[in-house]
C-alpha cells in the first residue's frame, strides 16, 4: 500500500508540474501574440497620424495610397495573430479607403505643386519630421517588396527636394535676418552653409541653380559691405589716433 501511495503522490506531482509547464507555455505564447499585435497596432497608429500630417504638404494621392496599404497590411497581420470582429470590421473600412485612394491616385495628374514654407518655426519642424518619417517608411516598404523601385525613387526624390528646400530657405532666412541686424559675419556663415548644402546635393534642379546664384550674389554683397565697414573702421581709428596726437602735442595752457 505504501508503494502505491508513493507512486500516486509522485504521479500527482508529475501531473502538476506538466500542467504548470503547459500553462506557462500557453501564457508565453499569449504574451508573444500580444506583443506582435501591439507592434502591428503601433504601425497602424503611426500611419494614421502621418496621413493626417500629410495635410501640411502639397497633395500627393500616391503617398496616401501607399500609407493606406501599409495600414491595411498591418491590420491583416493583426487579424491573423488575434482575430476578432473589431479588427475584421476595421479591415473592411481600410479596404474601402484604400480603393478610394487608389482611384484618386490613378486619376491624378501629380503635377509638382509649389511647396510654400510656413513662417512659423514650430510648424516647419513638424513638416520636416513628417517628411523624414515618410521617407523612412518608403524605404521600408520598398525593402519589403510592397513598393516598386520606380515609385520609390520618384517619391523619395520629391520629398528629398522638399527637405532640401526647407533647409536652404531656413538658412537664407536666418542669414537675411542677421544681415538686417548688421551681423555680417554671422550672415556670411549662414549663406556659406546654405551653399555647402546645395553643393552636397547631387540632383541638380532649377531650384538649386537659382538658389546658388542668389546665394553667390548675397555673399558678394556682404563681402563688399564688410570691405566698406572695415575701411570706415580704419578711417575712424586713424582719425582717433590723429586726435590723440593733437591733444598730446598741442600747446599747454597757462592757468
Chunked mean pLDDT (size 10), the chain, 255 residues? 75 83 84 90 94 90 94 93 88 92 77 71 88 94 92 92 91 91 89 93 88 93 79 54 49 50
Radius of gyration of the chain (CA): 34
pLDDT of 229? 67
- Residue 145 to residues 1, 41, 71, 174, Cα–Cα distance (Å): 69, 21, 15, 42
Residue 245 has a pLDDT of 44
Contact indicator for 42, 75 with CB cutoff of 8 Å: no
pLDDT at position 235, please? 54
pLDDT of residue 217: 93
35 and 8 Cβ atoms separated by less than 8 Å? no
Contact residues for 96 (Cβ-Cβ < 8 A; gap 6+):
none
Q: How far is CA 133 from CA 130, 142, 147, 176, in A?
A: 5, 14, 16, 30
pLDDT (0 to 100) of residue 94: 93
pTM of the model: 0.75
3-class SS shares of the chain: helix, strand, coil, % to 5: 85, 0, 15
Chain-centroid distance of CA 225 in Å reads 37
Length of the chain equals 255
* Dihedral sign computed on CA atoms, order 205, 209, 211, 215: positive
DSSP state letters, 89-111: HHHHHHHHHHHHHHHHHHH---P
Amino acid at each position: 500500500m505504501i508503494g502505491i501511495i508513493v507512486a500516486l503522490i509522485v504521479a500527482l506531482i508529475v501531473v502538476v508540474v506538466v500542467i504548470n509547464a503547459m500553462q506557462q507555455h500557453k501564457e508565453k505564447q499569449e504574451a508573444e501574440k500580444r506583443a506582435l499585435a501591439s507592434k502591428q497596432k503601433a504601425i497602424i497608429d503611426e500611419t494614421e497620424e502621418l496621413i493626417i500630417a500629410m495635410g501640411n504638404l502639397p497633395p500627393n494621392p500616391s503617398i496616401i495610397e501607399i500609407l493606406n496599404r501599409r495600414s491595411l497590411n498591418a491590420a491583416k497581420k493583426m487579424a491573423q495573430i488575434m482575430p476578432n470582429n473589431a479588427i475584421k470590421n476595421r479591415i473592411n473600412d481600410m479596404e474601402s479607403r484604400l480603393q478610394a485612394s487608389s482611384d484618386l491616385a490613378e486619376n491624378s495628374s501629380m503635377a509638382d505643386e509649389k511647396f510654400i514654407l510656413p513662417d512659423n518655426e514650430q510648424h516647419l519642424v513638424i513638416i520636416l519630421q513628417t517628411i523624414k518619417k515618410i521617407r523612412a517608411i518608403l524605404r521600408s516598404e520598398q525593402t519589403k517588396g510592397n513598393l516598386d523601385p520606380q515609385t520609390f525613387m520618384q517619391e523619395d526624390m520629391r520629398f528629398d527636394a522638399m527637405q532640401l528646400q526647407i533647409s536652404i530657405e531656413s538658412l537664407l532666412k536666418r542669414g537675411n535676418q542677421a544681415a538686417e541686424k548688421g551681423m555680417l559675419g554671422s550672415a556670411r556663415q549662414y549663406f556659406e552653409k546654405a551653399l555647402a548644402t546645395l553643393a552636397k546635393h547631387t540632383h541638380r534642379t532649377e531650384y538649386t541653380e537659382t538658389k546658388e546664384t542668389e546665394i553667390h550674389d548675397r555673399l558678394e554683397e556682404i563681402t563688399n559691405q564688410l570691405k566698406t565697414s572695415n575701411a570706415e573702421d580704419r578711417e575712424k581709428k586713424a582719425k582717433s589716433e590723429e586726435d590723440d596726437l593733437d591733444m598730446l602735442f598741442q600747446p599747454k595752457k597757462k592757468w
